[in-house]
Structure 1
């Protein structure tokens, strides 16, 4: 197993590379480098082409040094800065963009990062370790109404109101700074026999809030219409329904909510043509080898000639 695969096992690698329709002399972007699980094999297929990979995690930056070569540039930034950073590197337009929206295996498997329910560690959950907001801060400082909102909206927790009240009551007695302390505080809220799924939903909600993930995803997707050349491929893999809904709507309509806009002649104002009417999912064999592939949904679209009002 390569170092990149050991750090992060990529989900649906072959499908992602095929969807990009790679050209050896093309210019590509991986906006979620992680451990380079997708970037490394993508880079191996380039000759005179170039790959630009984004990640805001210092650990990812360290891992990226293993791939150093003239055809590769690592960009330490949030993918919401996509257009700005590519313009700064003189890298516009690009032929394909890949986004794997999952948390990297390395982040899940590092207890002190606080992403996994399997360990006891600090309630952190920052994708960027230098970011100011942590999960412990959210749990300690948010009002009951705010906690109710994020547990219901981002975690789709059925008893979000009860959960928020339990957190607020528990933190009055003592601070909730670790994963173990949070589990203890909300133990009575967990459905019997479904504790793991429930905790995953709670952690998802906190992680999304800590990293402002939904807003960042929308900002990045809107910029893909600006950075991809006509004919360029947009390849996005999501892991929960909130992300997948945004990706699906954007590819189909060029927007996240409402119906597709049309001109006076009824022509759709859509910068993309969807190539996957149904999302591609991992095979049973891959799921058996990598449980994180179970919830993955891969969607692919191609940039059309249409230039929207936000096109630069």
Structure 2
């Protein structure tokens, strides 16, 4: 099925969920079964799932998308503190605020810790977990994108603080990083990825209020979070639910070897590779939805 043949999504209701640090913006698509709760990474937002949602709702499934605090349409307060603990709390607030009951947390990119740690801490609320080119603990298979590496290194904090204030320098970095991801894609995916993903990432920094503060703080917390999660890797054996690992095989940073590493730590995991890049839900939404529905 081509992108032009994409089905229409079920109409959604909008929700604003109160949190310390602001309000979360969420979209609830009614349906049956445990809700797929789709979580974005950084520096993007819930719109990375706009092409995937119609395939899930067409199958009759309940779906929720939301923006983490500091991103997308969620609040961006000058005094808010952003990090991975806050994102885990955001997910819990969405589950409670929308009274979702059992869910299937779906994590992409930096959302992996929220999905996995929620499953560990709230097993009665989790029907399964779906991981899409994401991260959790330390693994030799991981290589961070240069943009993230720059803002995550403590020794480069002063340099990063100057760069984030310069639209010209940030524009150069974003174009450089986007080009790296684009170069790894199949030719058939490049134009669509540029049209969909490019504006999402650029608008995160150019629209006001921007996601720059949340991006900087989340990146600065990344290595510490990886360390915290590495200490919990043995706990993953306790996850007594199916874990569906769907991986874009042309990701130049979070490589296919990371998917296999996840599988080694998860007792009920399956791995399926998709001929796509890092944002596999943009490149191959119909196929990703098919694989999600088959296992949950």
TM-score by length of 1: 0.35
Higher strand proportion (structure 1 or 2): 2
